[in-house]
Amino acid sequence: MGTLTSQQPTTLSNEEILRYSRHLIMPEVGMAGQQNLKAARVLCIGAGGLGSPLALYLAAAGVGRLGLVDFDAVDFTNLQRQIIHTTEDVGRPKLDSAAEKLTAINPFISVRKFEMRLNSSNALELFRDFDIIADGTDNFPTRYLVNDACVLSGKPNVYASIFRFEGQASVFATKDGPCYRCLYPEPPPPGLVPSCAEGGVLGILPGLLGVIQATEVIKLILGAGDSLIGRLLLVDALAMRFRELKLRKNPDCPVCGDHPTVRELIDYNQFCGIRGEEAPVMPAAVPEISPEELKGRLDRGDDIFILDVREPHEYQICNLGGRLIPLGDLPARMSELDSSREIVAHCRSGVRSAKAVTLLRQAGFGKVRNLAGGILAWAEKVDPTVPKY
């Protein structure tokens, strides 16, 4: 494969030659390869778990022009895996925090910050200025958007995704290679993908997968080695096993197939079954009780049964002394509850317990309410000694 950049020949200064000497003495990179790296323009979607190691290594390797897209601020829960950000960065825009680190590692590159939500009206224009797109997002609408925009603009999509301790990586949307839609023609309907309630992610996993993405980006730029094009790499960090599956370009693919029906970007929230702009699927409104009201009632000695529908490992982090019945077990364990008593259900933030309230009401429990905002709101408004997670 040829290199992807079409820039004017780039020269390296003596300082750059010294900096990249371990690249320059390898025939697979050499002066020409390093110049290609310097001329390359790579867009990283997301400056989070995958984006951290990805951007750090691309910067260190001398990828001359790095773009970062993000709109989020650093928070404490990011620090377990998003190693481009430090404790001092909490509260700062991720873009500022990330760009600072990248420039500190390598002042010879330029970093462009795009503080925006990627969407159907800005993606193609943004991609125009880059040679390769690296997808580090965490949701299906953006995955399909990045894929389609890459196919439509002819830019490779260096892909990785992670769940708990497993990850996938591939390179999509090259000229003759498959795209993400060839692998998964349709997203799962909302709610059917295993809930992230049992989720979480091993902190090193985005490290592993982000470094694989960086490796693939660099190989594409150098035109060296065997790319992951046409292969889906599966990483199981717990078993420490790497496997690969064959990926084929689907001739019937609606975006990259022989007779594409998707010729422009579409509404990806709608495509993924999400109604309303960026709105998560919210359960139907259920009767609620505020943390303050619940506290007042409990202090008065009212008979209220607290039902905790989280998972056992969450209960260990913090609890309100309620009866633990995980949401998934609730249908089979309703008989443990007394429908004549007043019940307040809670979870972490109130989403799962709203589902529990709906289930219980359908089953004839008349006096069930949802703790608004879950144990997080309780910690915030009633008892600051309860840890947030």
Partner 1 sequence: MKVLIPTALRQYAGGQSAIVLDAASVDDTLGQLGTLYPDLRRHLFDPQGRLRKFVNVYVNDEDIRYLAAERTPVQPDDTISIIPSVAGGSPYSPESGTAHGNPH
State which of positions 154-173 bind partner 1 (CB under 8 A).
161-168
**Distance between CA atoms of residues 330 and 327, nearest Å:** 5
**For partner 1, which is the closer residue by CB, 12 or 84?**
84
**Distance between CA atoms of residues 303 and 148, nearest Å:** 55
**For partner 1, which is the closer residue by CB, 125 or 184?**
184
Place of tokens 């409990």: 298
Encoded tokens for 268? 């990806």
**For partner 1, which is the closer residue by CB, 138 or 288?**
138
**Could you say which of 182, 196, 256, 272 is catalytic?**
196
3-state secondary structure of 316: helix
Contact in structure between 47 and 100 (CB atoms under 8 Å): no
253: annotated active-site residue: no
Q: How many CB atoms lie within 10 A of CB 190?
A: 14
**For partner 1, which is the closer residue by CB, 109 or 347?**
347
Q: Beta strand 304-308 with 323-324: parallel, antiparallel or unpaired?
A: parallel
Contact in structure between 233 and 212 (CB atoms under 8 Å): yes
Segment near partner 1 (CB under 8 A); pick from 42-50, 103-111, 216-224, 287-295: 42-50
Q: How many CB atoms lie within 10 A of CB 272?
A: 19
**For partner 1, which is the closer residue by CB, 103 or 349?**
349
Encoded tokens for 140? 């299906």
Look at residues 218, 169, 207 and name the one whose alpha carbon lies nearest to residue 59: 218
CB of 37 to partner 1, least distance (A): 24
Decide if residue 225 touches partner 1 (CB under 8 A). Answer: no
Among 107, 191, 225, 331, binds partner 1 (CB under 8 A): 191
Segment near partner 1 (CB under 8 A); pick from 8-16, 97-105, 231-239, 379-387: 231-239
150: annotated active-site residue: no
Place of tokens 């999400």: 274
Look at residues 291, 282, 307, 306 and name the one whose alpha carbon lies nearest to residue 372: 291
CB of 48 to partner 1, least distance (A): 3
Contact in structure between 160 and 167 (CB atoms under 8 Å): yes
| HSE of 79, CA atoms in CB hemisphere, 13 A | 11
**Distance between CA atoms of residues 160 and 167, nearest Å:** 7
Encoded tokens for 222? 């150098």
Encoded tokens for 19? 């900096």
Mark 301-320 with x for binding to partner 1 (rule: CB under 8 A) and - for no binding: -------------x------
Segment near partner 1 (CB under 8 A); pick from 32-40, 121-129, 133-141, 362-370: 133-141
**For partner 1, which is the closer residue by CB, 19 or 348?**
348
239 contact partners, CB below 8 Å, separation of at least 6: none
Segment near partner 1 (CB under 8 A); pick from 2-10, 17-25, 39-47, 357-365: 39-47
Segment near partner 1 (CB under 8 A); pick from 67-75, 286-294, 335-343, 359-367: 67-75
Q: Which residues pair with 163 in a beta bridge?
A: 166
| CA distance from start to end of the chain | 47
Mark 80-119 with x for binding to partner 1 (rule: CB under 8 A) and - for no binding: -xx----------------------------------xx-
Among 71, 242, 305, 315, binds partner 1 (CB under 8 A): 71
Q: List binders of partner 1 among 319-348 (CB under 8 A).
A: 328, 347-348
Among 26, 196, 380, 383, binds partner 1 (CB under 8 A): 196
**For partner 1, which is the closer residue by CB, 50 or 289?**
50
- Residues with active-site annotation: 196, 347
